[in-house]
Amino acid sequence: MTSAQKQLSFALVLGSLAALGPLCTDFYLPALPELAGSLSTSTATAQLSLTAGLLGLGVGQLFFGPLSDKLGRMKPLLFSLMLLLLASIACALAQNIGQLLAARLIQGLAGAGGAVLSRAVARDLYSGHALTKFFSVLMLVNGVAPIGAPVLGGALLAWLDWRGLFIVLAAIALLLLAVCAWRLKETLPPARRSQASLLSVFGGLGGLLVQRQFMGLCLTQGFSMAGMFAYIGASPFVLQQLYGLSPQGFSFCFAINGLGLIAASQIAARTSARLGEYRVLAFGLGVAGTASSALLLCGLLGSPLPFILAALFFSVMINGLIGTLASSLAMQTQGKNAGSASAMIGVAMFALGAISVPFTGIGGTSVVTMGLTIWGCYIIAIVLFLVMVNKKALSAAA
């Protein structure tokens, strides 16, 4: 196997791990309306299953990130995949919404392991623009999850109910557990691991909070992703219940937006090599603000579905560019504590995403509530980037 083939194989495994977050959230989206009816609960309460998963994905990274700096990457990773397997089975067996919410929280906690450790492993091996380039490859592989998950989920609903989808997730967890045990090797040797006590390692997360450039980028990406999670949580109800799309039709629209995410991540890697990560990231945030403003305007004017879909496409796809560059720039400022830094990035993304989703249901989920939430998240991201991130200070910290 050539060096390029080995790198691609490595990226496929890491990309699959990074995709666990989107997979846990996107795969069952077409079944949300069915799930609400099956468990005799409201739309807003059914959406809380998404919120619970996002909270787990955020909080879990605070555990797996620092733990991997102390114990290495492999042991926490394999434990997280085993927990994901068991939690997915628990979701399938849930008899009421309370049981499902508890199982979804644990499923999110478990899925956080793959998300945080994929970034940490990449930082163990790469730096500078090479890290940006590898993150774009991860985003390319990771982009298959937002595309394939709802499409596959919608297609499987022709034969399975929502419980069957969680059984499929359990099978995916089992497959990844086997692949990682067979293909992945430890990337953080004992000599490079934190020598502090485990309590001190977890306490070291606080040191990241005072690093202005890192936290500026972390929160910029966090609020940007919160806007995308608002879209993820609201779009099944907006497109299926308000505009009458079938689960398969919704999955197709979701897939198109996923293709946009992939394209944007590759554009980020290519253009940043010539123009610099900071400059391209600033441009991407400008696009996010413009596209989300257009989406909100479409909602207020009651625009036809094609206009809504066009505004949604640009509002969602730009996250591929923002996510690639903000993650790379933030991780470039960190070295030995890559696991903790990756955890903080993940917490910002998923915790803020969990907060944003319920806002789309205030007063009833609609294009306006979805658009307003996305727009608000993007505007906050832009303001934080302008106030906290300085190009010269960022270059000195890298």
* 344-398 confidence digits (pLDDT tens): 887 888 778 878 888 888 878 889 999 999 999 999 999 999 999 987 766 555 5
Count of CA atoms in the C-beta half-sphere (13 A) of 384: 20
pLDDT of residue 324: 86
pLDDT of residue 381: 96
- What is the distance between the alpha carbons of residues 349 and 235, in angstroms, rounded to a whole number? 19
Yes or no: say if 34 and 162 are a contact pair by the CB < 8 Å rule.
yes
Asked if CATH classification 1.20.1250.20 holds for the domain at 10-184+210-397, the reply, yes or no, is yes
Residues of the chain with pLDDT below 70 are 1-8, 127-129, 137-148, 150, 196-199, 201-204, 335-338, 393-398
For 51-84, give the DSSP string. Answer: HHHHHHHHHHHHHHHHHHHHH-SHHHHHHHHHHH
CA-closest candidate to residue 132, choices 119, 114, 147, 151 = 119
Count of CA atoms in the C-beta half-sphere (13 A) of 141: 21
Asked whether the CA dihedral 5, 10, 13, 18 is positive or negative, the reply is negative
5-54 pLDDT, tens digit each: 666 677 777 777 877 877 787 788 788 888 888 888 887 788 788 888 88
pLDDT of residue 140: 63
- What is the distance between the alpha carbons of residues 32 and 366, in angstroms, rounded to a whole number? 16
Write the CB contacts of 117 (distance below 8 Å, at least 6 apart in sequence): 17, 64, 65, 68, 73, 76, 77, 80, 339, 342
pLDDT of residue 67: 82
Q: Residue ranges per domain, the chain?
A: 10-184+210-397
Yes or no: say if 193 and 70 are a contact pair by the CB < 8 Å rule.
yes
